[in-house]
Amino acid sequence: MRHQRAGRKLGRNATHRLAMKRNLVRALIEHERIITTEPKAKELRPFIEHLITLAKRGIVSGDRLKLLHARRLVQSRLGPVAKAEFYDKDEMPTGDTVVQKLFDVIAPRYVDRPGGYTRIIKRAERRLGDAGKTAFIELLKEGETKKAVTQAPVAPKVEA
């Protein structure tokens, strides 16, 4: 039985799951909104939120060493850059642009927000081929909050 076993296996072994999570996180940071299956989106959410919290903690500290430590922690969680960096002979390669965007654009956006940086929106359309449930996972925009759920007005009862 799977009692007290957190996480989903997603039909993959451990290294494949980690590689898939890293690829999805890189795509989400780069595009800020991606389409994937519902279970993958639900599995991805804590992973990306932890990375954003690490980046935010490094920025808020104001200490250069803590910022550097946070940057290195995020880089270690994301793994090595798979693509080759092409650059002009007069320029130096910029390094990992995903980590740079996370620290320069995304983490400062959520400095005052205590978690909940992502949103999962279920799609009505199923995936072609296997009809798997799909969902958007997106990073919230600056200043965006949860909308309060309002109850529909109740029609008065008509007595007959």
Quick one: DSSP state of residue 158?
P
| Residue 2: predicted pLDDT | 87
Contact 134, 36 (CB under 8 A): yes
| Four-point Cα dihedral 58, 85, 25, 98, nearest 10 | 30
| Residue 157: predicted pLDDT | 83
In the predicted model, residues of the chain with pLDDT beneath 70 are 82-95, 146-149, 160
CA 65/CA 5 separation, integer angstroms: 36
| Residue 42: predicted pLDDT | 96
List, for residues 100-146, the tens digit of each pLDDT value: 999 999 999 999 999 999 999 999 999 999 999 999 999 999 877 76
Q: Where are the beta strands (DSSP E) in 59-155?
A: 118-126, 133-139
Domains parsed from the chain with CATH numbers? 14-139 (3.90.1030.10)
| Residue 81: predicted pLDDT | 76
| Residue 143: predicted pLDDT | 76
Contact 55, 70 (CB under 8 A): yes
